[in-house]
Structure 1
Amino acid sequence: MKKVLHIVGARPNFMKVAPIHRAISERGALQQCLVHTGQHYDVKMSDVFFTDLGMPAPDIHLGIGSGSHAEQTAKVMLELEKVFLAQKPELVSVVGDVNSTLSAALVAVKMHIPIAHVEAGLRTFDNRMPEEVNRILTDRISDLLLTPSADADANLIREGLEPSRIRLVGNVMIDSLLGAREQALKLSTLKDLGLSPRAYAVCTLHRASNVDDPKVLSGLLSALVHVAQRLPVVFPVHPRTRKRLGELGLSSTLERTPGLRLVDPMGYLEFLSLTSQARLVFTDSGGLQEETTVLGIPCLTVRENTERPITVDVGTNQVVGTDPARIQQAADRIIDGHEKKGRVPDYWDGRSGERIARVYEEFLGVATPRLAAV
């Protein structure tokens, strides 16, 4: 059987790979190998997601850990070259825009192994973001470009990439969300935190542009404090953000702020239970912009741009930047009942993993009739 080698490295990757891995297993036409680079190595940021998503343990764990962009990319490349030589895959499947994604693509292209990029074509048009550089370079050298929405197709064609390489398959991360939502809602997360449905906000912050600049971070936190005066705010703190809060001496002040609840990072199901019942979400995460659109939860993206404009065009997302006054104003409107309504984008239907499995089979010449086409 021809072999597909999946690369995961950081928390956002797991929700995207799980439905693809499951669909390929169910169809039974391809062999699979799951490689975890260990770019995220904290149990709450990584290992627990495999359990929550029903994924098998990785076949190979590289244990790369943290480091600068150059250091992390180089370490992953060195180790993946050994893996590719030993495994001899016919296709390397990468997802998203983390350093492990680009590292795997660079190693594969130099070894003449075909590459499939899931979530291709997303753009902020801001090359100051390391994720944007990873996206552009990965798309340029990939053989299959699997897009979540029509705007991503348009970006790739505008950049001169051949339409024959592009497949609109929908948002595979939504497969995970729809498959896990019922189970997540059975958890006692809200009860344990003393919350009521639709009566609290959730915040996540992790991007360097937000948490590494003391002025920007302080402004964002002041906006949260304002909102916490009207609505409880639950803030699962990313390790990077926790470190910065400690360095700036802000941790104890925030923990004493009425209405603001700092908690440790959560597993996938626990966090989905929290976000799916929120009144409002603040985030600088790309994935949460998509999830809140499907869940119908108002989302305020505290960035100056987004690589997921469809969540703004048709979904519940608003890009509000990092100005505290603007964030506070937008939050107040939502709390007062003037929230943005949206709809679920096309092909975000929970069947993207099946579409991707079928594309892989066709590309490798091993299409199976076991399941109907989607």
Structure 2
Amino acid sequence: MAFSAWQLLSPVQWARWTWSAVRGGGAPEGEDGGVGGEAEEDSQEESKALGFRSGCKVKKYETQALVLDVCAQDEGALISEIPDIANRDGHATDEEKLASTTSVQKPYFECSNVPVPAAKHGVEAGFEKELSKQMDKDGPGAFPVSSDSPLDGICLSASEKAAVLTLIREEIITKEIEANEWKKKYEESRQEVLEMRKIVAEYEKTIAQMIEDEQRTNMTSQKNLQQLTMEKDQALADLNSVERSLSDLFRRYENLKGVLEGFKKNEEALKKCAQDYLNRVKQEEQRYQALKVHAEEKLDKANEEIAQVRTKAKAESAALHAGLRKEQMKVESLERALQQKNQEIEELTKICDELIAKLGRTD
């Protein structure tokens, strides 16, 4: 089924072109430059050459207004269905970001299910309001009702219609090329998004592994920290014990230091005493030597005296022995005389006894 050039255009694009042709000016403000800018300049020149401000009357194009209303209604529904990205706390998906980027960069768009920015819809809504006001102002013959082509209701020659159709075809081709480029960019961006999702998945997996490793590390660190804390407490206890021992040792050291000072004083006193005793010993030795010499002299003198006494005693002893012998001899002679006397006494006694006995018998 063959379509004419005006049927291939979207209702919004056709309304823009028709409004620019009716007003005799360029396209509405807010559209991007590039190929669209060149088409605007060509349409301005053509509209000026055609002289649309003549007294030509056209029939009312009611179907176009209906299409515009339906398209505006669909666009409003689509705009209402667009998620409010600003209210999502910065958590837009990759597809939404890509769709918003591509829709902002498109100079023309069709009435489709692709979400578009609210700024574009604001411009188009204002344009449609101006178009409806102009239609009410111009009357029922402002737009054609023909079902073949809207150009048939305008006072145009065949060459001018051909030029307009050529411009429309060029614009359609340009838009198709641009749409293909945007599709290609969309596919590239989609591939990049998929790759980024893979990278993000790997990154999330790596982050999860890192978090798990970090948790294990934290657990190990906690255990090590507890162990180190216990060791620190033990070390502090040992340190306190060592400090107490050190304080006791220092106190003992101070005590021993005092005792040592006392010992040093005693040592000095003892050294003095020892020196005094040494001096006294030397003096006593000197006295001893003197006494020894004097004693030796005395001994020698005593020995001489003893020798003399012994000699004298020996002489006296010899004399005494001689006198003793003499006396012994006297004693012996006296004992003999005594025995002789005793014998005589016994004999006389016997004689007396005999006489007494005889006398008694005689009496």
Scaled by the length of structure 2, the TM-score of the pair is: 0.20
Structure with more of its chain in strand, by fraction = 1
Scaled by the length of structure 1, the TM-score of the pair is: 0.19
Structure with more of its chain in helix, by fraction = 2
